[in-house]
Structure 1
């Protein structure tokens, strides 16, 4: 019979033990002990083993590892202001930021960057294009020169400042639209003062040929593989640049 809580009540348990006959309790192994003489049987609710715990623990460990990896990668990609080549898995800044995840980050480096002699490991944020030591991002919309520069700054970058003609040729290939105009980080502070890059250096006319400034056109734009001047208030697309993250 069953009691109010749904447990089986074994009225004949003492008779089975005294007679030596086989019964449910004799072959129970690690089941409930035989009640001592003179004492009423006391039943204890024994919870069933929770088979879900190992799976929950595994999921928790997997989630923690994933968060650690995401945190390390996010820090690497967002790291700015360090001299080139110092943002790596082996320097003190990295260990301070990622703590005990140093070994995990080394494995991540192996996964993201197959070992290539003389190349190192260079990564860019999602949606950016890697070339040499720079990452490039191209806007789909149009805006003025100053607003374009503000947008690049918000992205932790700056308007494009090409270093040589080879870089312009590469950009011409990835932009794939030589008829469009793209703002770059070149401007003329005042009429007749010469062209200046956003980093303060002056335009090297031996590297880039620029059309003469006229009609208030004092901001540089990229069209195809050439740099020309344009009105700073006109709406053009733009290209942002930032240094790669070196692992």
Structure 2
């Protein structure tokens, strides 16, 4: 009987909530390097399982998650980027030494993307999957959460659809946003801790145009000098 119940609880369509977390050993976490945020995250983002970050595209989400990406460099496994409409900057990947370890997949639709994501997890060839398609529903999130925990893979859902606020069975559900000249993170859900709103963080965005303006001025000065000299 006990064996049958154990088999049933392993089914990907069954979510055990906090009971599943209590039965496990202490969670290994990846800190983000922001003291107040890591404290609220009980040490960081869990290294296995599904976590979600909601934000506008270009909000500096990759900069925030850089410590998580850096932790994947020496695992000997791949980083999978499942993106459709957005492109991943190869210069950024090269700068952070992720280019040779990254694979970019762009399935035609969300159904194919979910299938590809599951197969990547099962293959155990990757330590990190960055998934950004249409917003996940509860059933899909539950399957991905179970699989990514089972195969010790970190799955980050970057959700650019800020109109969707459905609660999902994830380790971390957070929102990155800009308000009153300051960047904040709100934690809607944290496994092993409590939600917390408006955690201020340092973010280099919105980026200034100072470098472009300076380059244009230098180019203009050089042109004037050339014309004057002639």
TM-score when normalising by structure 2: 0.23
TM-score when normalising by structure 1: 0.22
**RCO higher in structure (CA 8 A, sep ≥6):** 2
Of Structure 1 and Structure 2, the greater strand share is in 2
Of Structure 1 and Structure 2, the greater helix share is in 2
